[in-house]
A and B are shown apart, each in its own frame.
Chain A
Amino acid sequence: MNMPLKIENLKISFGRGAVEAVRDVSLELRPGEILALVGESGSGKSLTARSVLKMFPEGAVVDGRISLTGDNVLEASPNDLERLRGEAAAMVFQEPSTALNPVFTIGWQIGEGLKAHGMRDPRERRARAVELLRDVDIPDPETRVDCYPHQLSGGQKQRVVIAMALALRPAVIIADEPTTALDVTVQAGILDLLRRCRDELGSSILIITHNLGVVADLADRVAVMYQGRIVEEASSTALFSSPKADYTRRLLAAVPRLGQGTAKDDNTSRERLVLVADQLEITYPSRFGRTPVPAVKSVSFDIAAGEVLGLVGESGSGKSTIGRAVVGLSPVTGGAMRLFGADLRHVKGESLRQLRRRVGFVFQDPASSFNRFMTVFDCIGEPLRVHRALSSSSEFRSRVLELLDQVQLPREMATRYPGELSGGQRQRVGLARALALNPEFIVADEPTSALDVSIQAKVLELFRALQKELGFAALFISHDLAVVEEIAHRVGVLRHGQLLELGSARQVMSSPSDDYTRLLINSVPVPDPLAQAKKRMLAGSIS
C-alpha cells in the first residue's frame, strides 16, 4: 500500500554537526491514521514535522529521505515543492493568532491557497471558503467569511487555520501543537474537529504535542521522541497500558491526573485569615471615552494561615488579576481585599512596602522574571537587599545559600546567570526568591505552565514539600485543574471575573455543583485512551 508519508533515517543537525537535533528518525503515517509525535521541548518533534514540508530553520543540515505521497520532499524542485505544500500536506500551527494575517479577511486568506493552486474564479473561491468554514463549524459562515482575524475568538481562529489546511484536501495534515495556546473547553472542540477531518475526509494526521491527554484522546498510534530519537512507537492503547521505554514510563508517571490527587489533611483552622476578599471588584481604567473593562466582579473568598487556595479558570477569567492585586500590581476598585488585616485599597507607601515584604510572588514565565544582568545569587538576595533584612554580608550569603539548598539547587549555581539555567532551574530560583524573606503568604501565578510535564512534576513536588515545611499560605493560580487539585486544599473556579464555585479540592473536582466546573473537568483529556473513548461515547450519547 502506498503510504501518504514515510520518513526514513532523517537527520537534522546545526552548526556543522555540533548540535544534532534529530537523529535517525524513521516514521510512517498510514492512510486515515492519526499519529501523535510526543516529546518535551527540545526533543526535535517540531523539527521533524516541519521537515515534511521542507521548512527548516537557517543553518540546518539535513540528511535522509521523506516521501510524501510518493514524492521525495528533500529532493523536490521548487515547483514541485509548491505543489506538494498545500496539496499533499498542509500545516496547522500552534498559535492561531500569529498564523493569520491581520490585514486580510479570513475568506481572502483561505482563498489565497486555492488561488495558488489554480482556482482562478474569485466567486468560486469565495463559495469554497464559505463551504470550508461551514465544515469547521464556524457559525454563520456567509457573513464570517468577510471577518478579519481579530474579530474571531482564539478557538475560531484555530478553526479557520484548520479550514485553510483542509482547503486543498491534502492527504496529510500536520498539526504542530494545535491546542497548546487554547483553553481546555476550546481544545475539546478542536480535537473533535480534527477527528472529524480524519473520519469524514480520510486525511492522515500527524499531530505534534506534549500533552499526553490530547494523545490519548486523538491518536491511533504514538511515537515518543527524546533527544532527537524515537524511543518508542506503539499503538496508543498499548503505549498507555504498557509503556516499554524507560523515558515513556517516566513521562506517564509525571502527568498530573485529575481525580487522583492525594487527599490532603485539612487541619488549618479558619481563625487566622491571611487574605480576605470581600465582594472584590477590579476594573481596569478606561482611556478616552472607552468603557472601563471589569476584570473581576464581586468575588469573595478567604485564605487561612497555612492554607493553599487554588484558583482555576480559563484565559481572561480574571485569575491572574486577583493574584496581582494581592501585591498591588492591579488596582482594587471595589469591595475590599484585606491582606493581614490591612485593606489594600487604602494602603500606600511604607505600609504597602511592609505588606509586600510578607508576601512572595512566583511568576509564570521564569525566563522573563529575572534581570539578565544579575547573577542567581543577586536575584535570590534581592528581596533581602531591598528590605535591608540582614545586616552583615556573611549572614546574607549564608541565607542565599540556604535558600538554594531549600529549592534543591547546587550552590555553584549562585554565580551563574538566569539565562544559563533551564526552565525548571529558573523556576526554582523564582521560588527561592519568593521565599527569601520567610513570607507568610505566597502568590504563585501559573508557576508551572511554561514547563515540561516531567519538570512540572518536580517543581510541584518541591512546592508542596516547602509549603508543608515552612507552613506558608498560598494563592495558587493555574489553568490546569489536575495541577491545582494536586496542590490546593481548597479550589475556586473563576469565569468571566466571577467566582462560580468554591470548596475543598476533593469536593469541587469529584462532585462539582456548577455546570461550568463540570464542563471544565470533562473537557480535560484524560491520559488514558480507553477512559477517554468512554467519556467521548458518553458525551455523544447525551448530545
Chain B
Amino acid sequence: MAMTGTNDTIRSTRGGALSRALHNPPLIFGFTIIAGMAFAAAALPHLLGLDPLAVDPLHRLKAPSATHLLGTDNFGRDLAARILAGASTSLRLAASVTILAAAIGVAVGILASFSRLLDHVLMRICDGLMAIPAMLLALALTATFGPKFSNLLIALVIVFVPGIARLVRARALALRTETFVEAAVAMGASNLHIMARHIFPNVLSVLAVQVTFIFAETIVIEAALSFLGAGVPPPAPSWGNILYDGKAAITKAPYMVFFASTAIVITVIGLTMVGDGLRDLVDPRMGVRSEPGMAKRLFRLVLPRTSEGER
C-alpha cells in the first residue's frame, strides 16, 4: 500500500537519529576534540603529577624539553600543566555559562511568548543589554565586582541570555500558532503544561545549535578578559592568563603564546564543528546551502559583537 511507502521514508529519518549523527563527520570529529580536551584536562595533571602553580625560579622561560614538554613560563611554571589546568578552567566556565544562560534564556523566552505585557518588558530589557558590546559589558561587570570566577560567570551569563531569549521567543511564538498547541489549549491544558510538554521540547533543537556556539564564544571571551586582567584572577591558570604572561616574554619565549593560542583555536574549531554538525542534524535542509562558512564564523567569533546584532 501507499502507506508502507511513507512509513519507510519516515522511519529512515527518525529512527536513525543516532546513525545520522554517526554519518556526520564534523559532529563526530568536533565532539572527539572536545571530549579529548576535557579528558586531558581532568586526568592528565594527576597522572603525570603536574602542578600548574609550582614555581621554579631557576628554570624560567625554558624551551620545550623532555622534563617540561611545552617548556616553562616566566615564573618557571610548567606550561603543559598550566595549559591543561587552563583548559579545565575554560571548559568549566564555558559549560557553566552555557547551561545557566540556556536555562535562563529558555525560561525568559518561553514566558515572553505567553504574555504580551511580559513580552514587551522582557524584550526591551534584552534589547538594552544587547545594545552594549559583549566584551564591554563583561569588562564593566567584572571591573565593578572584582575579577573572580563567580563574577565572570555572572557577567557572561548576562551577556548571553538576551540572545538565547530572543531566539527561543521567536521559535515559541511560531510554535504557539501550531495546531498541536491549539489542540492542547482546546483540551483544556494549562499554560504550564503547554510550555513544558509542547513548547520546550520543540525549542530544544534550535537551542542545541545556538548553545554550542555560545560555548565557543565563552572560551574566546574568557581568554580575552583574562588577557585584559578582568577574567580569572592570577595566579590561577587560564588560557587568557597564559597569553598575558606570554605577551611580556614574546621575544624570548614565543612558544608560550603559540601553545596557548593553539589550545584555544583547537577547542573553538572543535565546538564550531559540533555546532555545524548539530545544525545539519536538526535541520537537514540547512546543510545543503552551508551558509556562513566555518572560517567566516570563526573569524566572527574573535571580532567584537557590536556589528553582529542578535546572532
Whether B188 contacts A369 by the Cβ 8 Å rule is no
Whether B179 contacts A368 by the Cβ 8 Å rule is yes
Whether B14 contacts A419 by the Cβ 8 Å rule is yes
Question: Chain A residue with minimal CB distance to B183?
Answer: A369
Question: Chain B residue with minimal CB distance to A378?
Answer: B197
- Shortest Cβ distance from B136 into chain A, in angstroms? 37
Interface assignment of B290: CB less than 8 Å from any CB of chain A: no
Residue-wise, chain A 357-376 has the 8 Å CB interface mask toward B (1 for contact) of 10111011100111111100
Which residues from A are CB-within-8-Å of B182? 329, 363, 369
Which residues from B are CB-within-8-Å of A328? 185-186
User: Within the assembled complex, what's the spacing in Å between the Cα atoms of A386 and B189?
Assistant: 5
Contacts A19-B9, A371-B198, A386-B190 given; indicate if A425 touches B3 (C-beta within 8 A): yes
Interface assignment of A433: CB less than 8 Å from any CB of chain B: yes
Which residues from B are CB-within-8-Å of A417? 14
Which residues from B are CB-within-8-Å of A383? 187-188
Which residues from B are CB-within-8-Å of A373? 201-202
Interface assignment of B289: CB less than 8 Å from any CB of chain A: no
User: Within the assembled complex, what's the spacing in Å between the Cα atoms of A425 and B3?
Assistant: 9
Which residues from A are CB-within-8-Å of B183? 361, 363, 369-370, 433
Whether A420 contacts B10 by the Cβ 8 Å rule is yes
Residue-wise, chain A 205-238 has the 8 Å CB interface mask toward B (1 for contact) of 0000000000000000000000100000000000
Tell which of A354, A372, A422 has the most Cβ of chain B within 10 Å. Answer: A422
Interface assignment of B58: CB less than 8 Å from any CB of chain A: no
Interface assignment of A353: CB less than 8 Å from any CB of chain B: yes
Whether B188 contacts A42 by the Cβ 8 Å rule is no
- Shortest Cβ distance from A367 into chain B, in angstroms? 9
Interface assignment of B23: CB less than 8 Å from any CB of chain A: no
- Shortest Cβ distance from B208 into chain A, in angstroms? 13
Question: Chain A residue with minimal CB distance to B15?
Answer: A420
Whether A371 contacts B185 by the Cβ 8 Å rule is no
Whether A422 contacts B201 by the Cβ 8 Å rule is no
- Shortest Cβ distance from B198 into chain A, in angstroms? 5
Interface assignment of A268: CB less than 8 Å from any CB of chain B: no
Which residues from A are CB-within-8-Å of B11? 420
User: Within the assembled complex, what's the spacing in Å between the Cα atoms of A420 and B2?
Assistant: 13
Whether A382 contacts B187 by the Cβ 8 Å rule is yes
User: Within the assembled complex, what's the spacing in Å between the Cα atoms of A40 and B8?
Assistant: 18
- Shortest Cβ distance from A371 into chain B, in angstroms? 5
Whether A42 contacts B180 by the Cβ 8 Å rule is no
Residue-wise, chain B 27-48 has the 8 Å CB interface mask toward A (1 for contact) of 0000000000000000000000
Residue-wise, chain B 160-202 has the 8 Å CB interface mask toward A (1 for contact) of 0000000000000000001110111111111001000110011
Which residues from B are CB-within-8-Å of A420? 7, 10-11, 14
Interface assignment of A356: CB less than 8 Å from any CB of chain B: yes
Question: Chain B residue with minimal CB distance to A373?
Answer: B201
User: Within the assembled complex, what's the spacing in Å between the Cα atoms of A424 and B197?
Assistant: 25
User: Within the assembled complex, what's the spacing in Å between the Cα atoms of A352 and B189?
Assistant: 11
Which residues from A are CB-within-8-Å of B198? 371
Task: Scan residues 418-471 of chain A and give those whose CB is less than 8 A from a CB of chain B.
Answer: 419-422, 424-425, 433, 437, 452
Question: Chain B residue with minimal CB distance to A358?
Answer: B188
Whether B10 contacts A369 by the Cβ 8 Å rule is no
Which residues from B are CB-within-8-Å of A360? 187
Residue-wise, chain A 369-413 has the 8 Å CB interface mask toward B (1 for contact) of 111111000000011001100000000000000000000000000
Interface assignment of A41: CB less than 8 Å from any CB of chain B: yes
User: Within the assembled complex, what's the spacing in Å between the Cα atoms of A386 and B10?
Assistant: 29
Interface assignment of A333: CB less than 8 Å from any CB of chain B: no
Tell which of B8, B184, B186, B201 has the most Cβ of chain A within 10 Å. Answer: B186
Which residues from B are CB-within-8-Å of A353? 188, 190
Contacts A373-B201, A374-B197 given; indicate if A422 touches B6 (C-beta within 8 A): yes
User: Within the assembled complex, what's the spacing in Å between the Cα atoms of A424 and B4?
Assistant: 12
Whether A361 contacts B187 by the Cβ 8 Å rule is yes
Which residues from A are CB-within-8-Å of B201? 371, 373
| Set A227, A371, A382, A421: member contacting B2, Cβ < 8 A | A227
- Shortest Cβ distance from B106 into chain A, in angstroms? 15
Q: How many residues of B contact A (CB 8 A)?
A: 27
Which residues from A are CB-within-8-Å of B6? 42, 422
Whether A43 contacts B2 by the Cβ 8 Å rule is yes
User: Within the assembled complex, what's the spacing in Å between the Cα atoms of A207 and B94?
Assistant: 60
Which residues from B are CB-within-8-Å of A357? 187-188
Which residues from A are CB-within-8-Å of B187? 356-357, 360-361, 382-383, 386, 433, 437
Interface assignment of A327: CB less than 8 Å from any CB of chain B: yes
Whether A361 contacts B186 by the Cβ 8 Å rule is yes
- Shortest Cβ distance from A226 into chain B, in angstroms? 8
Whether B180 contacts A371 by the Cβ 8 Å rule is yes
| Set B3, B5, B7, B10: member contacting A19, Cβ < 8 A | B5
| Set B9, B179, B189: member contacting A363, Cβ < 8 A | B179
- Shortest Cβ distance from B76 into chain A, in angstroms? 55
Question: Chain A residue with minimal CB distance to B200?
Answer: A373
Which residues from A are CB-within-8-Å of B202? 371-373
User: Within the assembled complex, what's the spacing in Å between the Cα atoms of A126 and B308?
Assistant: 46
Question: Chain A residue with minimal CB distance to B7?
Answer: A420
Whether A40 contacts B2 by the Cβ 8 Å rule is yes
Task: Scan residues 219-274 of chain A and give those whose CB is less than 8 A from a CB of chain B.
Answer: 227
Tell which of A227, A356, A369, A419 has the most Cβ of chain B within 10 Å. Answer: A369
User: Within the assembled complex, what's the spacing in Å between the Cα atoms of A534 and B22?
Assistant: 63
Residue-wise, chain B 132-167 has the 8 Å CB interface mask toward A (1 for contact) of 000000000000000000000000000000000000
User: Within the assembled complex, what's the spacing in Å between the Cα atoms of A185 and B178?
Assistant: 30
- Shortest Cβ distance from B23 into chain A, in angstroms? 15
Question: Chain B residue with minimal CB distance to A418?
Answer: B180
| Set B9, B179, B180, B193: member contacting A386, Cβ < 8 A | B193
User: Within the assembled complex, what's the spacing in Å between the Cα atoms of A387 and B6?
Assistant: 34
| Set B2, B7, B185, B188: member contacting A387, Cβ < 8 A | B188
User: Within the assembled complex, what's the spacing in Å between the Cα atoms of A352 and B184?
Assistant: 14
User: Within the assembled complex, what's the spacing in Å between the Cα atoms of A303 and B93?
Assistant: 63
User: Within the assembled complex, what's the spacing in Å between the Cα atoms of A433 and B198?
Assistant: 16
Question: Chain A residue with minimal CB distance to B188?
Answer: A356
Which residues from B are CB-within-8-Å of A374? 197
User: Within the assembled complex, what's the spacing in Å between the Cα atoms of A386 and B191?
Assistant: 11
User: Within the assembled complex, what's the spacing in Å between the Cα atoms of A361 and B180?
Assistant: 11
Whether A327 contacts B193 by the Cβ 8 Å rule is no
- Shortest Cβ distance from B120 into chain A, in angstroms? 15
Question: Chain B residue with minimal CB distance to A357?
Answer: B188
Known: A361-B183, A365-B179, A420-B10. 10 other contacts (CB 8 A): A329-B186, A356-B186, A356-B187, A361-B186, A364-B179, A386-B189, A386-B190, A419-B14, A420-B7, A422-B7
5 A-B contacts, Cβ less than 8 Å apart?
Answer: A329-B186, A353-B190, A387-B188, A422-B2, A452-B2
Task: Please list the residues of chain B having a beta carbon within 8 angstroms of any beta carbon in chain A.
Answer: 2-3, 5-11, 14, 178-180, 182-190, 193, 197-198, 201-202
By Cβ-Cβ distance, the 9 closest A-B pairs, closest first, are A356-B188, A373-B201, A422-B3, A327-B186, A369-B179, A361-B186, A353-B188, A368-B179, A386-B189
